[in-house]
Amino acid sequence: MFTQLGPQPPDALLGVLAAFSADPDAGKIDLGVGVYRDATGTTPVMAAVRAAERDVLARQATKSYVGAAGNRAFAAFIEELTLGAAHPARAAGRVVTLQTPGGCGALRLAADLIARIERSSRVSVSDPTWPNHVPLIGGAGLPVEVYPYYDAASGTIAFDAMLATLARLPSGSIVLLQASCHNPTGADLDPAQWQALAELLGRRGLIPLVDLAYQGLGDGLEADAAGVRLLADRLPELLIAVSCSKNFGLYRERVGAIIALAPTAAAATTVMGHLQALARRMYSMPPDHGAAIVAAIAASPAYRADWLAELESMRRRVTGLRAPLAAALREATGGRRFDFVGTQRGMFSLLGLEPAQVAALKEQHHIYVAPDSRANVAGLAETQVARVAAAIGAVLRAGAAHG
């Protein structure tokens, strides 16, 4: 049986992680996989997480099953963070939330739920998008298409083209959106664009599936959820895939949630039943530990305050790196091609380099970015800014000399 399998190409992002680990160079720089690092290059365990984890371990009386829906206190907190404490849809019982293994688990469950309702539902994703979106959604058997999103020349959103393409989709189509800190481009919709998009989705009967993976790392916890809240205000149906990997730093604990907003409370209850059944047949129940930590943070005003303060300091660090990086790139390249890096938000920017330039960064400068030239700005130390900019300038000049 196994001999029939051909070799599997490395994962676009995890392959970079492996290549970086294997590089013996002492000065190597990893801007590949999307993890936050502090100024010393460490991906820290947040202080509130560490404290809450101690409490969880001290108080835990059993290791018995949590059930397919997961931790309910966790789910309530995630709803509050995503939609706000007093969203009318929550009060009306139209919102249900199921704990999932990471944001990936939420995306896959969303896709399975959609496929269960209508196998031929088309899911449109931004061009470009996070590489794992396509296998996660396509793996559920749904056809995946793209809509224009990014204008690489200007480093901004191709909003008119995006709306024009979405306007042609058949009613009932699913549109995958990213709430904030767009992966890989770093280019987010502004409030007026969210308004126009919400209006179009409502008018055309399109259903958004929103990936919320970086709440708190763009413009702030509330601002990063403003777009998804607008959709929840305006539309009868909405799916949201939440990840706690980045904003709680719980990457390896695999903590996430799927939120469904349904037109009625009865429909929401039915959706929850299907989500639990889908989880049960795939992985049965989510892991407990990370969600228990998040729930313990939610339960303690002191931990909550501490978590919010640390998240805000992480956000400021990443945002604060952008202007110096853009300035260093201007100096290293003698042009304004990378000015967008300074104005974008979130962990990533797409540098717009050719594959050969990405390879040259790695081979000649030991600087690792994703294969599509996405740079994880959140992984950069202040002390590395000048070297990274100089290396990008050098590979561009070498490319120009050879071209």
Among 34, 208, 256, 286, which residue sits at the site for ligand LMR (rule: CB under 6 A)? 34
Identity of the residue numbered 101: P
Which of 130, 248, 307, 340 is close enough to bind ligand LMR by CB under 6 A?
A: 130
DSSP 285-311: S--SHHHHHHHHHHH-HHHHHHHHHHH
Nearer to ligand LMR, 165 or 183 (CB): 183
Residue 190 Cβ vs ligand LMR, minimum distance, rounded to whole Å:
23
Residue with tokens 């990471």: 102
Least Å from the CB of residue 259 to ligand LMR: 19
Give the residue closest to ligand LMR by C-beta.
34
> Are the C-beta atoms of 133 and 170 separated by less than 8 Å?
no
Q: How far apart are CA 311 and CA 188, in angstroms?
A: 20
- Residues 221, 215: Cα–Cα separation, whole Å: 6
Q: Which is nearer to ligand LMR, 130 or 338 (CB)?
A: 130
Cβ at position 179, least distance to ligand LMR in Å? 14
The first and second tokens of residue 390, run together, are 């100089």
What's the closest the beta carbon of residue 34 comes to ligand LMR, in angstroms?
3
Binding status of residue 111 toward ligand LMR by CB under 6 A: no
Considering the complex, state which of residue 249 and residue 393 has its C-beta at the smaller distance from ligand LMR. 249
Fill in the per-residue mask, 179 to 198: x = in contact with ligand LMR (CB under 6 A), - = not in contact. ----x---------------
Q: Which residue number, 30 or 306, has a Cβ lying nearer to ligand LMR? A: 30
Question: In whole angstroms, how close is the CB of 313 to ligand LMR at the nearest point?
Answer: 21
Distance (Å) of CA 119 to CA 116, 123, 146, 238: 6, 11, 18, 18
The residues annotated as belonging to the active site are 130, 211, 213, 246
Contact 96, 259 (CB under 8 A): yes
Q: Contact between 33 and ligand LMR (CB under 6 A)?
A: yes
Q: Is 373 in the site for ligand LMR (CB under 6 A)?
A: no
| C-alpha torsion sign, points 37, 212, 15, 366 | negative
Hey, what's the torsion of the CAs at 310, 37, 258, 288, to 10 degrees? -80
Number of residues that bind ligand LMR (CB under 6 A): 6
Residue 107 is a binding residue for ligand LMR (CB under 6 A): no
The Cα 205–Cα 235 span in angstroms is 9
Task: Kindly report the backbone phi and psi dihedral angles of residue 91, in degrees, each rounded to the nearest multiple of 5, phi listed first.
Answer: -60, -30
Contact set with ligand LMR (CB under 6 A): 13, 33-34, 130, 132, 183
